[in-house]
A = this chain, B = another copy of it.
Amino acid sequence: MAKILMEKDIQFEKVAWGLTKELVNYQTVGARKVKVKITEYLPGHEHKNHVHPGQEEVLFVLSGIGMTQTREEKRKIGPGSVIFIGAGEPHTTWNLSDVESLRVIVIKAPPEDEEVQL
């Protein structure tokens, strides 16, 4: 299967740290090996420290400014930042702006895993 869609045609859903929408998953396009989302961390919001035990995650920052903390480092992120989180690696991401969303592409492989809060 192949499918072409526009991200703006997909609706956001609310999560604790902002808004998210799933662009690529099994339901939308039949993907079995990867999930792709857009997430907006709202001003003042944080996705608290957690792990995905068996899943790799990549964040690609489209706009905004934030911070990511991993076991190794705590670093400011902005447009063009690429964050790789290996399976089982604790990580936290938050928005540093009072006014602008931190907008990122979120990539997960495999597509489904649990999220364990720390």
Contacts and interface: CB of A to CB of B under 8 A. Distances in A.
Interface residues of A, number: 42
Interface of A: 1-8, 23-24, 28-34, 36, 55-56, 58, 60, 68, 70-73, 75, 77, 80-86, 89, 91, 105, 107, 109-110
Nearest to A60: B105
Number of copies: 2
A31 B60 contact: no
Given A4-B82, A4-B84, A32-B56, 4 more contacts: A2-B83, A4-B70, A6-B82, A33-B55
A80 B8 contact: yes
Contacts of A1: 84, 86, 89
A74 to B, nearest CB: 9
